[in-house]
């Protein structure tokens, strides 16, 4: 996910910045000066323009407009797809020049003129968190997906593998406006891990839907145990469906103990399920996105210096 956005005049003047998931106070003018200086150094040594700075915990992606002397920068999490980020960055640059064409002709260094850019950034540039809904046939994952509006089919490769994608608006969070929910068959995912590697690397949360009865639980556990170590960053949750089958369903507590993963019991055909599933999604986004990436001020009062923070500079 995008953490910060900077738009800088090539002279080093910061004209726009946007921060997501942090109350951390940094000297943004100092940061913009650093970005400008390192860009100038790259030019001086004949390295061409900087395309990205790859740190241990985050990436910084650059694009430039030499004719107008502007630098556009997005800071993202280390596992984000750089091509997706770069597409967003180029779109941001085009919109900025289109929207503020008149103001930039005789700009008087009043950065307040660009505050209205927040609305565009929040709607079109922010990359929503991604949730992957997986499960075997007949466990109710498609029924769950039906409770979310819209539908998009994403083709993944030449074999025409596809997944379903929907979105959910999240009005309750400061820096998250919507999430993307994708559905895929668990057996197909395990059988074709190479095909789905990019998908697995890009998602933030994986929800494993299972029938709460014993036979399906055992099979799902085997597939889950194979999949879990292959996932780089996503948090796992178990959706224990068919809890209405009282005679055969194991309780969410027993299933959580079996998988050793936070488990939500549910019946996807119940009348109040729409409200329940939306509440569950909000809960897991809070646990796996907000609490993980949001940095309270008290945490950064005494920053810890790590000795193994690697950095790679990529020049074009």
Paired strand residues for 185: 135
pTM over cut 0.85: no
Interhelix angle 252-259/214-227, nearest 10 degrees: 30
pLDDT score of 46: 66
Going by C-beta distance under 8 Å and a sequence separation of 6 or more, which residues neighbour residue 129?
A: 1, 176, 179, 180, 204, 205, 285, 289
**Is domain 130-293 annotated with CATH 3.40.50.300?**
yes
Count the Cβ atoms, other than its own, within 10 Å of residue 66.
10
The ranges assigned to domains in the chain are 2-126, 130-293
Alpha-carbon distance of 81 to 78, in angstroms, equals 9
Q: Which fold has domain 2-126?
A: Beta-Lactamase (3.30.450)
Tokens representing 287 are 């646990």
Cα gap 5→114, rounded to integer Å: 13
Backbone CA torsion sign across 180, 183, 186, 190: negative
Indicate if the pLDDT at residue 8 is higher than 50. yes
Q: What angle do CA 29, 33, 39 make, to 5 degrees?
A: 145
pLDDT in tens, 282-298: 999 999 988 876 654 44
Condensed to tens digits (0 to 9), the pLDDT of residues 71-117 reads: 899 988 877 778 888 999 999 999 999 999 888 888 888 888 898 99
Q: Residues 80, 127: contact at Cβ < 8 Å? A: yes
Phi, psi of 187 (to 5 degrees): -65, -45
Residues in the chain: 316
């Amino acid at each position: 996910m995008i953490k910060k956005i900077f738009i800088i005049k090539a002279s080093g003047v910061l004209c726009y910045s946007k921060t997501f998931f942090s109350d951390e106070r940094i000297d943004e003018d100092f940061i913009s000066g650093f970005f400008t200086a390192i860009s100038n150094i790259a030019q001086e040594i004949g390295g061409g323009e900087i395309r990205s700075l790859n740190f241990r915990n985050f990436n910084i992606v650059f694009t430039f407009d030499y004719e107008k002397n502007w630098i556009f920068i997005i800071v993202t999490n280390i596992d984000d797809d750089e091509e997706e980020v770069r597409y967003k960055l180029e779109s941001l640059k085009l919109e900025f020049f289109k929207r503020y064409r008149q103001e930039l002709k005789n700009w008087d260094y009043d950065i307040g003129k660009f505050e209205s850019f927040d609305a565009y950034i929040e709607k079109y540039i922010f990359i929503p968190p991604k949730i992957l809904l997986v499960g075997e046939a007949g466990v109710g994952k498609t029924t769950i997906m039906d409770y979310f509006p819209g539908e998009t089919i994403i083709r993944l490769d030449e074999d025409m593998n596809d997944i379903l994608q929907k979105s959910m608006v999240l009005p309750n969070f400061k820096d998250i406006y919507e999430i993307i929910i994708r559905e895929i068959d668990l057996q197909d995912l395990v059988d074709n891990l190479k095909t789905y590697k990019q998908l697995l690397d890009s998602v933030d949360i994986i929800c494993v839907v299972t029938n709460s009865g014993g036979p399906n639980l055992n099979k799902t556990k085997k597939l889950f145990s194979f999949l879990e170590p292959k996932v780089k960053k996503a948090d796992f949750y178990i959706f224990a469906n068919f809890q209405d089958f009282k005679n055969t369903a194991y309780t969410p507590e027993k299933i959580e103990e079996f998988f050793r993963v936070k488990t939500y019991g549910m019946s996807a055909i119940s009348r109040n399920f729409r409200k329940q599933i939306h509440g569950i999604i909000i809960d897991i986004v809070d646990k796996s996105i907000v609490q993980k990436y949001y940095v309270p001020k008290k945490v950064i009062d005494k920053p810890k210096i790590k000795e193994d923070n690697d950095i790679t500079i990529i020049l074009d």
